[in-house]
């Protein structure tokens, strides 16, 4: 197969006629609830581009929502997964196990923060990993309550919908939700009423006060938090907030769970985002970037907590599928070989530099934030902090039309987020930023 050319190339309007035909088939065959951000149908992808059925080549600032950090069809992922496909595709690890699963567990036990003894259990999706982290924490603590945060996102299953903050589109009409879930404030500096400088201290005090008064710390099994809130708007909690919450958890026998499903595996310029403030979580949930695009998820954590659940209490038919495990080993090999943490930090440098210059020119940009290859701009009504969802949607549309895949997020729908594959070339990165700048002049 020919090498995928690392260039943006538009030969039709976006979406092109063949994509439009396929979209009509999608509408007739797939339910409305499965939304599509940009209806171009992909035939090949790799490096920093996606090629579509009409022969267009688009720049990828989405990575399939933070998944293809090593790029699509990364060499080591394809090599290892292909070899595994030829050997065997499934036995069910719970029936007759295989080495790949154990090797992924060993790698995760080593790569995640903390040098204590650890265990890892594998699953298929991020939501499943979060559900299992809660099961494990409940089994260990013999408590039931789970504390989560404003702006948090943890998935679309019943329990993870309950853990998720935003109603529309994730929860609307899908209740009732799982009980014993309590939500407390997140240190969102940009929107903290008394100012960003007071945010960490005040938000932590409020969160701890609410837990203590409304739930009772002794009833809390787990505190589940994203070190950077992803779907909620790439909100990096004000510095000092996470350590305070982690300390509170430790002092009260609560399992501290870092949901690193979006932030993990080099995305933020470190193996895991919680390393930034030296947090050592009791449990850590991972998925997305773990296996170069194959479905795999994990819960990794302290041996004594992970071993609390009785034999047969955890698992699932496909959890830790051998092909997905082989892909994960290929993805981790690529991350180490190419030093994707360094690449993520370089992406941050380039993106933040240019976006901050744009912020000076365009007062619709309220804040530029994020870490590594997880960067966002929050858009506001000029001169205010009022969320500007209309400008965000218009900007995303303008980028799409020019062949740049970007995603939106945020509790108020006013955040444009950028998650390029960490292997993207710097030329493409800059070309994508040119498109954003040009779109800003028009919006
Ligand atoms: C932080 C976080 N947790 C959990 C999930 C759910 O993962 P999945 O879609 O694989 O179920 C996501 C997905 O976006 C996420 O970003």
Residues 413-443 have pLDDT tens digits of: 999 999 999 999 999 999 999 999 999 999 8
CA-CA distances (angstroms) from residue 104 to 118, 326, 340, 349?
13, 8, 19, 31
For atom 7 of ligand 1, the residue with the nearest CA is: 126
Helix (H, G, I), strand (E, B) or coil at 121: strand
Strands (E), 114-233: 118-123, 145-149, 181-184, 220-225
Q: Are 108 and 120 spatial neighbours (Cβ–Cβ below 8 Å)?
A: yes
Q: Residue 131: CB within 6 Å of ligand 1?
A: no
Atom of ligand 1 nearest to the CA of 127: 11
How confident is the model over 74-96, as a mean pLDDT? 98
Side-chain-side CA neighbours of residue 353 (13 Å): 8
For residue 200, give Cα distances in angstroms to 225, 237, 277, 348: 15, 7, 13, 23
CA distance 124 to 102: 16
262 lines ligand 1 (CB under 6 A): yes
259 in contact with ligand 1, CB cutoff 6 A: yes
- Closest CA relative to residue 354, chosen from 362, 404, 382: 362
Beta-carbon contacts of 265 under 8 Å, excluding residues fewer than 6 positions away, are 69, 271, 272, 286, 288, 289, 290, 331, 332, 335
Give the global pTM: 0.98
Per-residue pLDDT for 294 more than 70? Answer: yes
For ligand 1, the distance from its centroid to the CA atom of residue 291, given in whole angstroms, is 14
- Cβ(260) – ligand 1 distance below 6 Å: no
> Domains in the chain and their CATH numbers?
17-74+339-442 (3.90.1150.10), 75-337 (3.40.640.10)
383 vs 282: CA distance, rounded Å: 43
User: Is residue 281 predicted with pLDDT exceeding 80?
Assistant: yes
237 lines ligand 1 (CB under 6 A): no
> pLDDT of 302-315, one tens digit each?
999 999 999 999 99
Statement: residue 1 has pLDDT above 80:
no
d(CA 74, CA 336): 13
Directed axis angle between helix 322-337 and helix 99-111, to 10°?
A: 40
Q: 147-171: per-residue pLDDT in tens?
A: 999 999 999 999 999 999 999 999 9
Length of the chain: 443
Q: How far is the CA of 192 from the centre of ligand 1 (A)?
A: 25
pLDDT tens-digit map of 184-217: 999 999 999 999 999 999 999 999 999 999 999 9
Tens-digit pLDDT profile for residues 37-68: 999 999 999 999 999 999 999 999 999 999 99
Write out 194-221 in H/E/C secondary structure: CCHHHHHHHHHHHHHHHHHHHHCHHHEE
Does the beta carbon of 130 lie inside 6 Å of ligand 1?
Answer: yes
pLDDT tens-digit readout, 123-147 = 999 999 999 999 999 999 999 999 9
- 263 CA closest ligand 1 atom index: 1
Cβ–ligand 1 contact at 343 (below 6 Å):
no
């Amino acid at each position: 197969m020919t090498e995928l050319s690392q260039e943006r190339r538009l030969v039709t309007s976006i979406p092109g006629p063949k994509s439009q035909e396929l979209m009509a088939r999608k509408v007739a065959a797939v339910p409305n609830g499965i939304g599509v951000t940009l209806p171009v149908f992909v035939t090949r992808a790799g490096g920093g581009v996606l090629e579509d059925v009409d022969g267009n080549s688009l720049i990828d600032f989405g990575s399939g929502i933070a998944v293809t950090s090593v790029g699509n069809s990364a060499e080591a992922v394809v090599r290892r997964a292909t070899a595994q496909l030829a050997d065997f595709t499934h036995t069910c690890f719970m029936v007759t196990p295989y080495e790949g699963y154990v090797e992924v567990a060993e790698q995760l036990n080593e790569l995640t923060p903390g040098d204590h003894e650890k265990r890892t259990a594998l699953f298929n999706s991020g939501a499943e990993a979060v559900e299992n982290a809660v099961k494990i924490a409940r089994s260990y603590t013999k408590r039931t309550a789970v504390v989560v945060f404003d702006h948090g996102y943890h998935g679309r299953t019943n329990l993870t919908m309950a853990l998720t903050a935003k109603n529309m589109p994730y929860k609307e009409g899908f209740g009732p939700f799982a009980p014993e879930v309590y939500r407390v404030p997140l240190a969102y500096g940009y929107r903290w009423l008394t100012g960003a400088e007071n945010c960490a201290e005040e938000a932590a005090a409020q969160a701890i006060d609410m837990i203590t008064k409304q739930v009772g710390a002794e009833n809390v099994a787990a505190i589940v938090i994203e070190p950077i809130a992803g779907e909620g708007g790439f909100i990096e909690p004000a510095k000092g907030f996470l350590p305070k919450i982690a300390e509170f958890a430790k002092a009260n026998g609560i399992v501290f769970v870092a949901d690193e499903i979006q932030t993990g595996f080099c995305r933020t310029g470190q193996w895991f985002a919680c390393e930034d403030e030296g947090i050592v979580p009791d449990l850590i949930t991972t998925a997305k970037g773990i296996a170069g695009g194959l479905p795999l998820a994990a819960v990794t954590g302290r041996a004594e907590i992970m071993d609390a659940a009785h034999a047969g209490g955890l698992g699932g038919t496909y959890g830790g599928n051998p092909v997905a495990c082989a892909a994960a080993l290929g993805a981790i090999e690529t991350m180490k070989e190419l030093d994707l943490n360094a690449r993520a930090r370089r992406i941050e440098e380039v993106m933040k530099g240019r976006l901050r210059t744009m912020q000076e020119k365009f007062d619709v940009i309220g804040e530029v934030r994020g870490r590594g290859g997880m960067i966002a701009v929050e858009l506001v009504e000029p001169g205010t902090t009022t969320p500007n969802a209309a400008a965000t949607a218009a900007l995303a549309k303008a980028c799409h039309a020019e062949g740049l895949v970007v995603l939106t997020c945020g509790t108020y729908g006013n955040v444009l987020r950028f998650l390029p594959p960490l292997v993207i070339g710097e030329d493409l990165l800059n070309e994508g930023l040119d498109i954003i700048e040009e779109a800003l002049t028009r919006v």
